[in-house]
A and B are shown apart, each in its own frame.
Chain A
Amino acid sequence: MSTLEIKDLHVSIDTEQGTKEILKGVSLTIRTGETHAIMGPNGSGKSTLASTIAGHPRYNVTAGTITLDGDDVLAMSVDERARAGLFLAMQYPVEVPGVSMTNFLRTAKTAIDGEAPKLRTWTKDVKAAMAQLRIDADFTQRNVNEGFSGGEKKRVEILQLELFKPKFAVLDETDSGLDVDALKVVSEGVNRAHAEGNMGTLLITHYTRILRYIKPDFVHVFVDGQVVEEGGPELADRLEEEGYDRYATGAGAATIAAADAAAQA
């Protein structure tokens, strides 16, 4: 049983116009076996939260903490975080020239486990996982994400999720750009990983569509760098009907947010 705890997280980035605060005090606790959905409009800071957990250098944490079973995640380098059991399925996975998928997957697995996987079983595992995600076998010969379509990239992120077996998975809009079939395939992958019982999931999404396939235990509504409302799966249904307008309009959102922040403090 593990716990990923985010407390009063403030994050800013350096822009040409100066420092810009994006996360304005986010608190969230995820335990093994739980699925938390974070939903919010474009630009609300969802990816910023995900990237900050993974340790992207662009994001500066100005206040707050992230801990994994009490260990200070913010003190870890990007690769240390991954080895500690954090996994980020990226919204826009980058293409890495020169590195074949085979080589990449084996190197990453070796780094995460601290030892090279047994070649025979590893090759079999990779093949099986690829087949389940409907990824062509010849993808292993191609360079990481190079020339993959948007949907293929997302599947390959989930392939890694299944192979690396993290303690916590952060899925940043894994559903965007997927057609219904691909969405099902990808969701099944996440559900399989979850069913093994050793993973907690933070599912970031803009739409409720994916929540039909991946059932969240908790839903957090994210607006302007803050969680403005929290609830169970029923909150997602309400968002489906009402959209984000209720939160996004001026003073209303600020008031809800301020009230929440005050309540949490």
Chain B
Amino acid sequence: MTDITTEKARIGAPSAQPFINGFTEEGESLSPLNAAESKSPLAGEAVKRHSHGGGVGVPDSSRAGRLTSYKLADFKPLTGMEEDWRFTPLKRLRGLHTEVLGGAAPSVSVTAPDNVIVETVGRDDRRIGSAAIPEDRVSANAWENFTEATVITVPAEVQAEGEVSVLLTGQGTGAAAQHVVIVAEKFSKSVVVLDHQGTAVVSENIEILVEDGAQLTVISLQEWNDDAVHASSQQAKLGRDAKFKHIVVSLGGDLVRVTPSARFTAPGAEAEMFGLYFADAGQHLEQRLFVDHAVANCKSNVLYKGALQGRNAHTVWVGDVLIRKEAEGTDTYEANRNLVLTDGARADSVPNLEIETGLIAGAGHASATGRFDDEHLFYLMARGIPEEVARRLVVRGFLNEIIQKIKVPAIEERLTAAVERELAATDN
């Protein structure tokens, strides 16, 4: 196809968001170094303007062109200037990008229905690498360093009663590597919960294979202790008519960076990707997702919602959706909404929609960052509602939309309670 018949768009406008201290809207006024350090959504633009020869800065290429490799050495050391690391405070990664990940990995304990197979395997197991390939240095570092992997298999046509619950408990602050493979075989139906708790410094690779006609829900809960550092690549490969629902909930941890992806390999599949995050003072919660519409007639729907409160609470959401030339009949929508509850918090939100064919059913994106401000509070209080009730009302209502998608009552209740706790933390 020629340029004339191919519609190629890259829509990547950062949403309205409070700028941080000392940052001006004019990228030009910043040196590339400062711009990168400010980690503003405009920093990339500034870097681009100031770099020549394309060495440093943001490649103009599409998401499809990103380097992938199982080898750590293939990824250059991180500088923070990379497009996909520009928001992440590298110093707080505590060596996940620089050290050999030899620390004790979070312990894995799985509770599963009888007909689900749970195994612990070595690096040479044939299922390793069946759904994922690292896309960044931290993920590759984990791939190179993990010693054993947990493989969960829902056999063909099995309808698992009750969820598969995987409890991952951090074993301390030694930088560690983790590997989990989830295989939903043909026409199976199951829910897998990855429950991250305790203190850990860990880079994790989660491989998810959703075979033809399978229906799989994966819920990844990050309720780490305050000092945890977690990078998690969660890559899913979807077969024909597969239905995949992915839910990321990040509440606890000093730095949590989840990079989920859904890759369509055959027509008729559907991916729903939901996320909920609540950042307190000082927390960095980042989510970067990728939906790869590589084949025709697949559907994706993305909704992430985040609440922020407290000084230097920082959240990042980047949603890359790529509709390749082959992906005619694609139907996709992605949205991110943030609610900033107090001053001093910062939400970055960047939807990127790349469309390489005009023959699609629909493609859209939305991003909005709203503030819960004194006027909202005044309005609710002027109707007799006490301040804490008003605050809770707003946040609960906002986040509930995601909690409701989980459909596992025990987890819904737990998260509702967790959100209440987060809110209670602001009251003092």
- Top-7 shortest CB links A-B: A98-B398, A82-B384, A108-B383, A111-B384, A78-B381, A112-B384, A98-B397
The stretch among A14-22, A36-44, A87-95, A182-190 that forms the contact with chain B is: A87-95
Query: What total count of A-B pairs have CB within 8 Å?
Result: 82
A104-B393, A107-B393, A112-B384 are contacts. A96–B379 as well, Cβ < 8 Å? yes
User: In the complex, which residues of chain B have a beta carbon less than 8 angstroms from the beta carbon of A99?
Assistant: 380, 393-394, 397-398
Quick one: which of A55, A98, A99 has the most chain B CB within 10 A?
A98
Interface string of A199-221 (1 = CB under 8 A from B): 00000000000000000000000
B285 to chain A, nearest CB (A): 18
**Contacts A/B (CB < 8 Å), 23 sampled:** A56-B378, A57-B374, A77-B381, A79-B382, A82-B385, A87-B382, A88-B382, A94-B375, A94-B379, A96-B376, A96-B379, A96-B394, A97-B376, A97-B394, A97-B398, A98-B394, A98-B397, A98-B398, A99-B398, A103-B397, A108-B380, A108-B384, A111-B386
B249 to chain A, nearest CB (A): 17
User: In the complex, which residues of chain A have a beta carbon less than 8 angstroms from the beta carbon of B372?
Assistant: 97-98
User: In the complex, which residues of chain A have a beta carbon less than 8 angstroms from the beta carbon of B382?
Assistant: 54-55, 78-79, 81-82, 87-88, 90
Name the interface residues of A23-56: CB closer than 8 Å to any CB of B: 54-56
Q: Does B339 contact A (CB under 8 A)?
A: yes
> B384 and A90: CB pair below 8 A?
no
Q: Does B387 contact A (CB under 8 A)?
A: yes
Taking a contact as CB atoms closer than 8 A, the residue among A56, A77, A83, A104 that contacts B380 in the complex is A104
Q: Does B155 contact A (CB under 8 A)?
A: no
Name the interface residues of A100-134: CB closer than 8 Å to any CB of B: 100, 103-104, 107-108, 111-112
Complex: A103 Cα to B382 Cα, angstroms: 16
Complex: A77 Cα to B387 Cα, angstroms: 10
Smallest Cβ-Cβ distance to A84: which chain B residue: B384
> A82 and B397: CB pair below 8 A?
no
Q: Does A226 contact B (CB under 8 A)?
A: no
Complex: A99 Cα to B389 Cα, angstroms: 12
A56-B378, A78-B378, A103-B397 are contacts. A97–B339 as well, Cβ < 8 Å? yes
User: In the complex, which residues of chain B have a beta carbon less than 8 angstroms from the beta carbon of A174?
Assistant: none
Kindly list 20 other residue pairs between chains A and B, CB separation below 8 angstroms, not including A96-B380, A98-B399. A83-B384, A90-B379, A90-B382, A94-B375, A96-B376, A97-B370, A97-B372, A97-B394, A98-B372, A98-B393, A98-B394, A98-B396, A99-B398, A104-B383, A107-B393, A108-B383, A108-B384, A111-B385, A111-B386, A144-B379
Complex: A160 Cα to B384 Cα, angstroms: 12
Q: Does A222 contact B (CB under 8 A)?
A: no
Complex: A90 Cα to B339 Cα, angstroms: 24
Q: Does A164 contact B (CB under 8 A)?
A: yes
Complex: A81 Cα to B382 Cα, angstroms: 7
Complex: A55 Cα to B377 Cα, angstroms: 12
Q: Does B395 contact A (CB under 8 A)?
A: yes
Taking a contact as CB atoms closer than 8 A, the residue among A87, A94, A103, A160 that contacts B393 in the complex is A103
> B397 and A100: CB pair below 8 A?
yes
A57-B374, A96-B379, A97-B339 are contacts. A107–B385 as well, Cβ < 8 Å? yes
Residues of B at the A interface (CB closer than 8 Å) are 339, 370, 372, 374-376, 378-387, 389, 393-399
User: In the complex, which residues of chain B have a beta carbon less than 8 angstroms from the beta carbon of A100?
Assistant: 397
Complex: A107 Cα to B386 Cα, angstroms: 10
Quick one: which of A96, A100, A164 has the most chain B CB within 10 A?
A96
Smallest Cβ-Cβ distance to B383: which chain A residue: A108
Complex: A21 Cα to B330 Cα, angstroms: 61
Complex: A90 Cα to B398 Cα, angstroms: 24
A50 to chain B, nearest CB (A): 10
Complex: A111 Cα to B376 Cα, angstroms: 17
A56-B378, A96-B379, A97-B370 are contacts. A79–B397 as well, Cβ < 8 Å? no
User: In the complex, which residues of chain A have a beta carbon less than 8 angstroms from the beta carbon of B394?
Assistant: 96-99
B423 to chain A, nearest CB (A): 12
A104 to chain B, nearest CB (A): 7
> A112 and B383: CB pair below 8 A?
yes
B11 to chain A, nearest CB (A): 23
Complex: A56 Cα to B397 Cα, angstroms: 24
Complex: A5 Cα to B380 Cα, angstroms: 24
User: In the complex, which residues of chain B have a beta carbon less than 8 angstroms from the beta carbon of A81?
Assistant: 382
Name the interface residues of A164-205: CB closer than 8 Å to any CB of B: 164
Smallest Cβ-Cβ distance to A96: which chain B residue: B376
B190 to chain A, nearest CB (A): 32
Complex: A90 Cα to B380 Cα, angstroms: 12
User: In the complex, which residues of chain B have a beta carbon less than 8 angstroms from the beta carbon of A54?
Assistant: 378, 382
A97-B370, A98-B397, A100-B397 are contacts. A57–B386 as well, Cβ < 8 Å? no
A88 to chain B, nearest CB (A): 6
Complex: A194 Cα to B257 Cα, angstroms: 57
A167 to chain B, nearest CB (A): 13
Smallest Cβ-Cβ distance to B401: which chain A residue: A98
Complex: A103 Cα to B393 Cα, angstroms: 8
Complex: A99 Cα to B339 Cα, angstroms: 12
B337 to chain A, nearest CB (A): 8
> B398 and A164: CB pair below 8 A?
no
A132 to chain B, nearest CB (A): 20
Complex: A100 Cα to B393 Cα, angstroms: 9
